[in-house]
Amino acid sequence: MGDLEQTCASLRAQIAATEAQLAGLKRDLQIAEQAAVDHKAQETFNDESIGRKWPLLEDEYRRYGRQMIVPQLGIQGQLKLRSAKVLIVGAGGLGCPAALYLAGAGVGTLGLVDGDKVESSNLHRQVLHRTKNVGKLKVDSAIEYLQELNPHSKYIAHREHLAPQDAPDIFSNYDLVLDCTDNPATRYLISDTAVLLGKPLVSASALRTEGQLMVLNNPPRPAGDNTGGPCYRCVFPTPPPANTVTSCADGGIIGPVVGTMGVLQALEAIKVVTTEETNTPPPALHIFSAYSSPLFRTIKLRSRRPNCAVCSAEASVTLDTVRSGSTDYVFFCGTSDPENLLSAEERITPLEYRAKHPDASAEVKNKEPTIIDVREKVQFDICSLDNSVNVPISTILASARMPTGDEASTTLPSWVPSDAASSETTDPIYVVCRMGNDSQIAVKKLKELGLDRDGQRVVADIRGGFRAWKEQVDPEWPAY
């Protein structure tokens, strides 16, 4: 036993050393790539500037001519874009169109931060990625496209998820930051770092058919200076409850919706770079709704909050607290861990379910299960199990809490299926959803209503939902 423990300890040490070495190699690669880009740019500049009368190349005049004749931009604006360094955090649905138009507009240096790889489910909205690049790092896929679009710009790849210890060093090399991420913890990290380093921030989000856009910390001012623009914490001083945060994977997204928000981010970035600070517009939240009329609404934002944790005179967030991790963004935003909602006895794997009920469509005289599918109807219509009943989780959560025990039998909400509501049977009830999260919430609700008959009746969820069902039972089940 002692030898095994020693072996395990040795392997852990080797893994830690290898990971540290890999991290160091990644940093060295990034530094080398940046040096190569800078060297190439300097050589190009030296070669092109010899005997040249005009500030732009002949190809640049042709390429950017249509935008340079717009009065709000002009040649001076184009030169500002050429010298600008813009960082895009997230190379997904927002970051792709933003990068596309900023590169097209002639931004001199574009940095992209992302640690994800391209998946086929990305392609309907993340317009820089192509089918042949599935499995490739998103930043590499994006830069490959951007280099073909505009070889005059410099592109810097940060092949990692943004981490607090790295954010200040990355941000310090850029003039402007675009938040193209999709989770609250990273949004607060980006905003805090941008404020502490004096960088304006263009922030956007999109889900289903709606989007939001803000320009923050513009103009950038030190903490305690009320003339500076508000930060993300000023607008949202407390994060939303973790269990209310919905991602594109769960809630869905229409490609042109997130594309619209990403293009607007690029537009706001161009305005920030080319507009004199004295002409900075007042802060505002722009709300886009694809199925509403009008499509856009604008809400005026207040200035910096006097008690903001990062941009007020009472600031408690500093670069040191960000780097050290004492400003814990995950803890601040909370975590929703649905895996711990139910005990092992209240869960069943798809394989175990199939073993107990070999043919759910056949009539079984003893213990025929009721299957409740708690996905929204739009997902239920895509694919569903035979004889399952659709009761959307939104319907369950919207219902008032009902009495439990004997009292519950007469006061069950209308969404409870008749088979499950019957007091004459103890046949099992199984709840299923897409990934095994909402189903656990539904099981707890059903038990609160007393439908487990004080333990006489099985009320359980199918662990892992239809994602696990595809892996364990039916490989042909549609993955969406």
pLDDT of residue 64: 98
Tell whether 153 and 227 lie within a shared domain.
yes
SS3 assignment, position 231: coil
Query: Which of the four pLDDT bands, split at 50, 70 and 90, describes residue 30?
Result: low
Which residue of the set 8, 248, 333, 383 is catalytic? 248
* Token code pair at residue 81: 């874009």
Annotation-wise, does 183 bind a ligand? yes
Count of beta carbons in the 10 Å neighbourhood of residue 344: 7
Annotation-wise, does 96 bind a ligand? no
Tell whether 289 and 327 lie within a shared domain.
yes
pLDDT digits (tens, 9 = 90+) for 259-293: 999 999 999 999 999 999 999 999 999 999 999 99
Annotation-wise, does 377 bind a ligand? no
Residues above pLDDT 90, as percent of the chain: 76
In-domain check, residue 29: no
In this model, does residue 165 exceed pLDDT 80?
yes
Number of residues in the chain: 480
Q: CA 409 to CA 255: how far, in whole Å?
A: 46
Tell whether 254 and 387 lie within a shared domain.
no
Q: CA 31 to CA 140: how far, in whole Å?
A: 16
The top-scoring range by mean pLDDT among 9-13, 85-89, 419-423 is 85-89
- Could you give the angle at which helices 74-83 and 58-68 cross, rounded to 10 degrees? 120
Query: Which of the four pLDDT bands, split at 50, 70 and 90, describes residue 40?
Result: low
In-domain check, residue 479: no
Tell whether 291 and 377 lie within a shared domain.
no
pLDDT digits (tens, 9 = 90+) for 55-103: 999 999 999 999 999 999 999 999 999 999 999 999 999 999 999 999 9
- Give the domain-ending residue among 307, 333, 359: 333
Place of tokens 């499509």: 295
- Give the domain-ending residue among 301, 333, 365: 333
In-domain check, residue 45: no
Tell whether 397 and 320 lie within a shared domain.
no
In-domain check, residue 64: no
E strand residue ranges, 321-443: 347-348, 370-373, 389-390, 429-432
Which residue of the set 96, 180, 333, 433 is catalytic? 433
Q: CA 81 to CA 109: how far, in whole Å?
A: 9
pLDDT of residue 34: 61
Tell whether 392 and 294 lie within a shared domain.
no
Listed range (176-185, 235-244, 345-354, 385-394) with the worst mean pLDDT: 235-244
Query: Which of the four pLDDT bands, split at 50, 70 and 90, describes residue 10?
Result: confident
97, containing H or E segment: helix 95-105
* Token code pair at residue 353: 């379910």
Query: Which of the four pLDDT bands, split at 50, 70 and 90, describes residue 37?
Result: low
Query: Which of the four pLDDT bands, split at 50, 70 and 90, describes residue 409?
Result: very low
* Token code pair at residue 324: 């050290």
> Is 433 one of the catalytic residues?
yes
In-domain check, residue 248: yes
The whole-chain average pLDDT of the chain stands at 90
Per the DSSP assignment, residues forming a β-bridge with 208 are 253
In this model, does residue 337 exceed pLDDT 70?
no
What is the CATH number for 389? 3.40.250.10
Distances from the Cα of 58 to the Cα of 50, 61, 74, 101, 115, angstroms: 14, 5, 16, 21, 37
- Give the domain-ending residue among 333, 352, 383: 333
Annotation-wise, does 279 bind a ligand? no
Annotation-wise, does 121 bind a ligand? yes
Q: Which residue has the higher pLDDT, 149 or 26?
A: 149
pLDDT digits (tens, 9 = 90+) for 288-335: 999 999 999 999 999 999 999 999 999 999 999 999 999 999 999 986
Annotation-wise, does 311 bind a ligand? yes
pLDDT of residue 248: 79
* Token code pair at residue 101: 């138009």
In-domain check, residue 459: yes
Q: CA 120 to CA 133: how far, in whole Å?
A: 9
Short-list 266, 280, 284, CA closest to 81 = 266
SS3 assignment, position 117: strand
Q: Which residue has the higher pLDDT, 387 or 26?
A: 387
Short-list 178, 173, 177, 214, CA closest to 199 = 177
Contact 296, 224 (CB under 8 A): no
How many domains does the structure of the chain reveal? Answer: 2
Q: CA 75 to CA 72: how far, in whole Å?
A: 10
pLDDT of residue 210: 98
pLDDT of residue 365: 47
Tell whether 306 and 431 lie within a shared domain.
no
Residue 385's domain comprises 344-402+410-473
Annotation-wise, does 234 bind a ligand? yes
SS3 assignment, position 449: coil
> CA 250: distance to chain centroid?
11
Report field, pTM of the whole predicted structure over 0.85? no
Listed range (67-71, 145-149, 362-366) with the worst mean pLDDT: 362-366
Annotation-wise, does 110 bind a ligand? no
In-domain check, residue 422: yes
Q: CA 361 to CA 358: how far, in whole Å?
A: 9
Tell whether 134 and 237 lie within a shared domain.
yes
Count of beta carbons in the 10 Å neighbourhood of residue 376: 18
